Amino acid sequence: MTVHTKPLRVHNAGFLLSRLAADCAPLQEYRELTQNSIEAILRLVKSGRQAEGEILWDVDWIAAGQHRLYKLSIIDNGEGMTGQELVKYINHLSSSSTEQSLEGNFGVGAKITAGVRNPLGIVYMSWRDGKGSMIHFWLDPDTKEYGLKQFLLPDGTYALWAEVEDEAKPEIIRDHGTVVVLLGATRESNTVEPPSGAAYPTHWLTRYLNRRYFAFPEKIRVRVREFSRRDPSSWPTSPKVGMGDEGSQLRRVLGQSAHLDKHKVTSGTVPLTGATARWWLLKDDIREHDLWQTTGHVAALYQNELYEMRDGQAGRRVLQSFGVLFGSSRVVIYVEPEPSARKVTSNTARSSLVLDGEPLPWDKWAEEFRGAMPDAIQDMMDELVAGSGAKNHQEAIRQRLKAIRDLLRLTKYRRTPQGDFETDEDVPGGKPKADTVAKPQRGAAPSGGSGGRNADLYGSIIRVGGDPAEVVIPKNIEPEVAWVFLSDGTREAGDLEDKAARFVAPTKLLINGDFRVFTDMITHFCRLYEGVPGAPEVIAEVVREWFEQQLIETVLGIRTLEGSKQWSDDVVQQALSEEALTAAAMPRYNLYGQVRRSLGQQLGGLKNRDPGSAAASA
């Protein structure tokens, strides 16, 4: 007997579209439409019906020429669709002309992103075997439902698709291809203009596509029309007008790989668990930041697209976790998961990758990369450190901390049958083991009031007392310290700005030598020792040494709390954050006295010239 199942239907597709669109990244509609065009061309190329293809982001010259309205369109000379196929693939939420899969095309991207952000509609014009067809996907203002707008045909009937005159066919389309026009929110919406707040208004779309794609297929050329003039009233109304005179040009989009290979000093790969890290060491002074991501960053690479890109401050922190402590603006790392090792897919928003249903293991990959640091990157960092002239204070600090080594280790306990203490878990705490521990008999009535354990119906069967345990002395791992300065290139502009330090797991501590708390104290003592030969250099190193010790003690102390019940990994990270380490550097009363005594031994006493003498003698 055959069992029949009624397929699942979507009752309120409009709500689902809007909800999914809310999770999508800004500008994602341009990726979705570009990817659809790439796949339409590749189907022809792979079948041998066409040698190469072209994708053009341009003005819809029909609206521009007839109404002087500027609507952004994407044109490709891929395989195209018939009118019936347009209706089938565009008016179904999860439908695609390519095979749908979790690893490939979902069939929802363009409808979600472009559809919701262009409520007036998206017009599709497509040619197959020389015959053109058109549909209009929109948000019906009356019913508030997404779907296909009906056309009134010349014979007085209505249809979901209509035939298109050849005059509407762009130049790059011959017998097959597709045009998608973004109408925006209203008839007057200029969808060619950059989104509000775009950093590079002339190149906004070029830059987005370059940063989104690592590379485009070899047989496909992608171009974007750009207008250097910001006033649309000066824009042309026809593509035939000389582009140079009208401030318009077609710019080639190549993807990040072309830029990185052009400006690299060297590059290579590092094998990781289930992935490969591609890295580039870039030249010092690179321009074209308005067209590509030109400074150091990290991203995941999958099917020639870039996901989870971290640049700026976020990228610098990730690069430092990969071991690139200095010169991170010159290093780019793309980690490419190996699909053969694990199941790789992206989220619906196409913003992040997932491995076997889990987030990417960035921490593990960072640890492995640190252990296999490429020589070229290590040499670059060594060169920066050698030129900084910063002295190493760690041996002196280590000797001083020996006296309080036991105080820097907080007591912990672990279960063992021979232990002299009792503990309920492997956390700080415990008490001497008693000779006898009274336990209530099973089923005995509890004594006392109704509060505490007795409020629990099953409190009477909970075992009283803890397990035998012994003291564990945790091993402290002193952080490796590096002072960083803007002047010698070990710190980059904007990094650690007005912050004291950054802890980079597992053992690196970067201290900002330009932090004003440090420089103010150096300036203070330089005034007091004005005229003393060699005083500025000695003062700078003494002040830094004592602040360094204060920060090292903070890191050592916080790390002894790791693994405690109240100190989860997230809480420990907060306690070692840049803000927390800055707070640790702010107490100066006792530190001032230590600096003054050290300087007195090396440069001589200050007598009555030091207004802080009371602090030193207190």
Q: For 224-268, what is each residue's pLDDT tens digit?
A: 999 988 889 889 888 875 545 556 889 999 999 999 999 999 999
Residue 444 has pLDDT above 50, yes or no: no
Q: What is the pLDDT of residues 168-211, one digit of tens each?
A: 999 999 999 999 999 999 999 999 999 888 888 999 999 999 99
> Using 50, 70 and 90 to split pLDDT, how confident is the model at 340?
confident
What's CA 351's distance to the chain center, in Å?
Answer: 9
- The amino acid at 249: Q
- Give a yes or no: residue 397 inside a domain: no
249 and 301 part of one domain: no
My answer on whether 171 and 47 are in the same domain is: yes
Residue 561 domain flag: yes
Higher pLDDT, 323 or 8: 323
Domain's final residue, options 253, 288, 308? 253
| Whether residue 289 sits in one domain with residue 232 | no
Angle at 303 between CA 297 and CA 304, to 5 degrees: 50
Tell me what pLDDT residue 98 has: 47
Q: What is the pLDDT of residue 5?
A: 62
Q: Are 313 and 495 in contact (CB under 8 A)?
A: yes
Average pLDDT rounded to a whole number, residues 113-121: 89
Instruction: Give residue 469's pLDDT.
Output: 56
For the cut 80, the answer to whether the pLDDT of residue 463 exceeds it is no
Q: Is residue 294 located within the same domain as residue 416?
A: no
Domain count within the chain: 4
Q: Give yes or no: residues 495 and 448 share one domain.
A: no
Final residue in a domain of this structure, among 447, 472, 497: 472
Least confident of 270-284, 338-352, 438-452, 570-584: 438-452
Are 222 and 144 part of one and the same domain?
yes
Same domain, 356 and 262: yes
* Residue 48 forms part of a structural domain: yes
Same domain flag for 468 and 507 = no
Count Cβ atoms below 10 Å from residue 587 Cβ, excluding itself. 10
Are 348 and 274 in the same domain? yes
Across 519-544, average pLDDT: 95
**Domain boundaries, position 498:** 477-617
**pLDDT value at position 427?**
47
Question: Shortest CA distance to 472 belongs to which of 432, 426, 417, 506?
Answer: 426
- When pLDDT is averaged across residues 44-58 and rounded to a whole number, the result is 94
Q: What is the CATH number of the domain that holds 92?
A: 3.30.565.10
Indicate the pLDDT class of residue 272, thresholds 50, 70 and 90. Answer: very high
The reported pLDDT for the residue numbered 387 is: 80
- If asked whether residues 191 and 284 sit together in one domain, one would say no
Q: Which of 109-113, 233-237, 308-312, 599-603 has the lowest mean pLDDT?
A: 109-113
Is residue 7 assigned to a domain?
Answer: no
Confirm if 183 and 120 have CB atoms less than 8 A apart. yes
400 domain-assigned? no
β-bridge mates for residue 141, sequence order: none
- pLDDT tens string 347-400: 877 778 999 889 999 999 999 999 999 999 999 999 998 887 677 787 788 778
Q: What is the pLDDT of residue 277?
A: 98
230: left (phi over 0), alpha (psi -120 to 50) or beta: alpha
Task: With a cut of 50, say whether residue 553 has pLDDT above it.
Answer: yes
Assign residue 317 the CATH number of its domain.
3.30.230
Give the model confidence (pLDDT) of 292-322 as tens digits.
999 999 999 999 999 999 999 999 999 999 9
First to last CA, the chain: 95
Residues 111, 234, single domain; the answer is: yes
User: Are residues 87 and 62 part of one domain?
Assistant: yes
Answer yes or no: is 405 within a domain: no
pLDDT for the residue 544: 95
In a domain? residue 197: yes
